[in-house]
A and B are shown apart, each in its own frame.
Chain A
């Protein structure tokens, strides 16, 4: 059995940022990840990371924009931390070696982003996630950190209400291991693969959230799923909001900048929920172009496109066959980000002692019902750092808890049983069925009858999932069995999303109900808390929203 003071699961930005904080304090922290760290999905973030630097800007303004963006359900104490600590965090990244584009006066260049009242998104062309991921990873190497990669974490090991480690499957060797730890941090990212048209990596299967809720740690606000307004029509690959930040137009089939109807002031730079709904409405009402909307950057000119948006230019050419210098890009809304996640406090702590979460897998909550572009990278570094500092303090005064090997044995049996199963259902096909159903029935526009259909489908898939077999019976690098397990994870997450969405009878942020089109602060200004009950069903509860400074107002742009 492996034994380390701190186990960080997931090696995207939040995990790496926490790791640096621990390693520079000399803590025995290791990274456990199902892929090599640089393969993590943080690297696909394109447009920017927000911080109020400019003399005419203020973190208070960033604070308000984020609260309004969240449709007032984000916790304001957490959002205050996020926005006030933003500039220092960005400068710290810069000291660590991250490169940002510069202004003529030698400061960090900033571009406008949706829902922000000031241009405050720092960027590296349109690949800032890549730049930050590699920059932070390089620092993790600097501290000579042990990286246990291609290990898949299947369970938390808990003893008497305290964390004692994780059960993990070594993908390469095909063996289970217990990893004992005084503290465990989940920075395991989101669950974009729940939906068919999504911007996410294939690895984003909500593993951390599933493992956490199975260990009794509640998930919060899972019904809030962000649909990104600009994803390539045929693949769902992300086209940065930075394109609109640089001045791109959204056009319908009539060549009209239709956002004037939906957000006359903010236009294309309204928050993502507003733009995604506007696009879907145009498509539904017959003003789409082959089921898509056009993103037009041509007027920016070749030079600016090549300098500021080179990645999306290349992606459009390679994946859509369209060169944005000469033609508008066909785009549509696609599942992008999970506002909900493992419920944590402002230092990443969960209800389970010694168990932390940060980044997309966590719900602090700073994004509420709708995240603003450029705030997710900020979330990872601010709360990753805070979790790292808190864990370093926490482990000083605690010992390892008793590590119960039976959890590891149980997971080993689950894997062996899947391998032995003569079941004829193919997890790859079930996954596609689930994804299509979630897109259709729990998507941008929701209503009870559709969501009930989705829940029926999920129940059907749960039954059929019992008959999933795998072709691959071997030990060595068996990705078939990993995918089978990942499917079970997204199935559970889908159920939590759908049931939470049916329950919330109002429209707020990204959660829009045709049958309840208004926000209802009286009944629904509260967080949704999901837990598993002993029968494997989902129980819901609620918790109050922390409102410190800004009282809810009507949200228009």
Chain B
């Protein structure tokens, strides 16, 4: 079968602006998008530039937009793309500056990974005891960790399987809204270490740092990270779990945590979402004053929420439900 690869091209050293270039190829059974790009580069046009390494979906080099959707080129079959779109259109990842063609600048992404302290926190350095024991001819004793202690870290779709390919970051709505937002991969990594039974994070510093502005409460819950992860991981689920964990551990200084607590309280008290009260709970009176122009604008357009809410009919059920959830004492 003959098919066309249409690639985004831009080399700022030569080109004034970006353009698309088309290459016509013949496929072979099992041909992937990466195979196609490599064929173009080897046989037709050596200037087409992209990253690649393992070609088996474990190194994360070849993430790009294929027919508008962020994927790994190495595990995307030509045949299924052609069937759906009739063409292989490739573009560089989103949310990152383009260096050239399909190659983006990943510096900020990796800086964010580093920022979450992706390693076990603790007092001591690696102990040399085992090597000493070895020299003395002793049999080394293993520390005991039960399966349950690693329950959230050893499943097929658990966060340690992240390959840092940036697919999630490329599609992340949170990064679009706030380029400083840590993003799903870094937060999934934060979760991975916060769940590790060996992590010695006594004062909850991981969740405190993760709650700072541009942290986990900047997630817009769009779920793109889950949808586009080539390894089946759901960063957004781990982010929500961390929201819960932070609030349960009284790490509630962030606007995001206050917002969540405000909503819970409003529902608990009235059975309804009291938007004004939630706004006050989240950002305080000064925050409200800052947002006053927006509020007035909304009011003029008839979008003002009611000042007082009536209790709903089944309020007693709500109270029972909240009692079951046993959240009350942890709100303050």
Contact = CB atoms under 8 A, between A and B. Distances in A.
A124 interface: yes
Interface string B121-132: 000011100110
Contacts of B30: 234-235, 319-321
Contacts of A44: 54, 56, 58-59
A325 interface: no
A41 B59 contact: yes
Interface residues of B, number: 67
A379 B127 CA distance: 21
B13 interface: yes
Interface in B1-23: 11-14
A473 to B, nearest CB: 8
B42 A426 contact: yes
A471 B47 contact: yes
Contact of A310 (B43, B47, B103, B156): B156
Interface in B157-210: 160-164, 193, 196, 198
B131 A95 contact: no
Contact of A201 (B42, B54, B118): B54
A266 interface: no
B42 A428 contact: yes
Interface string A113-155: 0000000000011010011001000110110000000000000
A284 to B, nearest CB: 23
B75 A127 contact: no
A24 B164 contact: no
B144 A97 contact: no
Interface in A392-437: 426, 428-429, 431-432
A36 interface: yes
A426 B147 contact: no
B21 to A, nearest CB: 13
A139 B45 CA distance: 40
Interface in A287-329: 306-307, 310-311, 314-315, 318-321
A310 B275 CA distance: 46
B82 interface: no
A475 B12 CA distance: 10
B267 interface: no
B143 A94 contact: yes
Contacts of A102: 145-147, 150, 154
B46 interface: yes
Contact of B130 (A40, A41, A88): A88
Interface string A451-476: 00000000000000000001110111
B118 A141 contact: yes
B25 to A, nearest CB: 14
B54 A319 contact: no
Interface residues of A, number: 72
Contacts of A478: 49
Contacts of A306: 156
A386 to B, nearest CB: 11
A43 B59 contact: yes
Interface in A31-52: 35-36, 38-41, 43-44
A476 B12 contact: yes
B46 A476 contact: no
Contacts of A483: 41, 46
Contacts of A480: 41, 46-47, 49
A97 B47 contact: no
A97 B58 contact: no
A213 interface: no
Contact of B161 (A97, A127, A307, A470): A127
Contact of B142 (A85, A107, A310): A107
Of the candidates B30, B54, B150, the one having the most CB atoms from chain A within 10 angstroms of its own CB is B54
A503 interface: no
A39 B14 contact: no
A537 interface: no
Contacts of B114: 141
A479 B103 CA distance: 11
B61 interface: yes
A249 interface: no
A130 B53 CA distance: 14
A311 B42 CA distance: 30
A310 B14 CA distance: 45
A549 interface: no
A428 B46 contact: yes
Nearest to B12: A476
Contacts of A428: 38, 41-43, 46
Contacts of B164: 38, 134
A477 B47 contact: no
A202 interface: yes
Contacts of B120: 95-97
B66 to A, nearest CB: 14
Interface string A87-116: 110011011110101101111100000000
Given A139-B119, A321-B30, A474-B11, A201 B154 contact: no
A84 interface: yes
B55 A235 contact: yes
Interface in B82-117: 99-101, 103, 106, 110, 113-114, 117
Nearest to B120: A97
Contacts of A366: none
A315 B72 CA distance: 13
B75 A319 contact: yes
A169 interface: no
Given A35-B61, A36-B110, A88 B45 contact: no
Contacts of B113: 141
A471 B101 CA distance: 15
Of the candidates B32, B45, B100, the one having the most CB atoms from chain A within 10 angstroms of its own CB is B100
Contacts of B163: 38, 43, 130
A238 B57 CA distance: 12
A237 interface: yes
Contact of A91 (B12, B32, B99, B142): B142
B60 A39 contact: yes
Of the candidates A38, A96, A108, the one having the most CB atoms from chain B within 10 angstroms of its own CB is A38
B140 A87 contact: yes
A167 interface: no
A84 B54 contact: no
B134 interface: yes
A233 B202 CA distance: 51
Interface in B29-53: 29-30, 32, 38, 41-43, 45-47, 49-53
Nearest to B61: A39
A191 interface: no
B251 interface: no
B329 to A, nearest CB: 34
* A-B complex: 8 closest residue pairs judged by Cβ atoms: A428-B42, A471-B46, A106-B144, A88-B130, A480-B46, A310-B156, A142-B119, A138-B118
6 contacts: A39-B60, A95-B126, A99-B150, A142-B117, A319-B30, A480-B49
